[in-house]
Amino acid sequence: MTNKIANLMNDSRDSLPGSSIPASGMETSTLRALRALMKTAGLVPGAVARRAGLSETELSALEVLADAPTGPAELARHLGVTTAASSGIVDRLAARGHVERRPHASDGRRTDVELTASGRAEVLAHLMPMFEGLYELDSRLTPEEAAVVEAYLREATAALRRLL
């Protein structure tokens, strides 16, 4: 949720339109912190892509391929681009050594695009400061605190999924 949306809610006098939630209920310290986290998280892909010398779409392709090798047409669907655009993305990533095209395991007419070890290593290197900070933060939590944080984050995720 962006600050612009929060500002819209703040303009409500008594309660949010179509809701029994008081407008002041959307300005708790935890919700402000959650909005700040979401806003910052939204900035991360662009920053990582710039540092890695990639476009955000190329970085998104690497994220998809980190899960499993994928055909070019399926990759295009994941990225929301045409198959021609997907082919160009794969060409650029292959030229940098981040991905390889390989024959499909069971259908010799098809190809899969696979993330290389060097492609994975480059992206992880750019993400490592974040991972280290989150690990340090997590390691300071007591088991009870971790349970509360986990429950809150899972329920916040479920609330966000209502929009999908």
The tens digit of pLDDT for each residue in 133-144 reads: 999 999 999 999
CA distances from 69 to 3, 63, 103 (A): 37, 11, 11
Nearest-angstrom CA–CA distance, 51 and 132: 18
Nearest-angstrom CA–CA distance, 90 and 71: 10
Run of H or E including 136: helix 117-139
Least confident of 24-38, 59-73, 109-123: 24-38
Please tell me the predicted confidence (pLDDT) of residue 91. Answer: 96
The widest CA-to-CA distance across the chain, in whole angstroms, is 64
Please tell me the predicted confidence (pLDDT) of residue 1. Answer: 47
Structure tokens at 49: 């892509």
Name which residue leads in pLDDT, 21 or 15: 21
State the pTM of this model: 0.76
Please tell me the predicted confidence (pLDDT) of residue 25. Answer: 66
| Nearest residue to 99 (alpha-carbon basis) of 44, 60, 126, 48 | 60
Nearest-angstrom CA–CA distance, 119 and 140: 32
Interval 26-48 mean pLDDT: 91
| Sign of the Cα pseudo-torsion (18, 24, 30, 33, in order) | positive
Q: Which domains does the chain have, with CATH numbers?
A: 1-52 (no CATH), 53-115 (1.10.10.10), 119-164 (no CATH)
- Residue 61 in this model has a pLDDT that exceeds 70: yes
What's the pLDDT tens digit per position in 83-130? 999 999 999 999 999 999 998 888 778 899 999 999 999 889 989 999
Q: With 0-12 CB in 10 A as exposed, 13-18 as middle and 19+ as buried, what is 61? A: buried
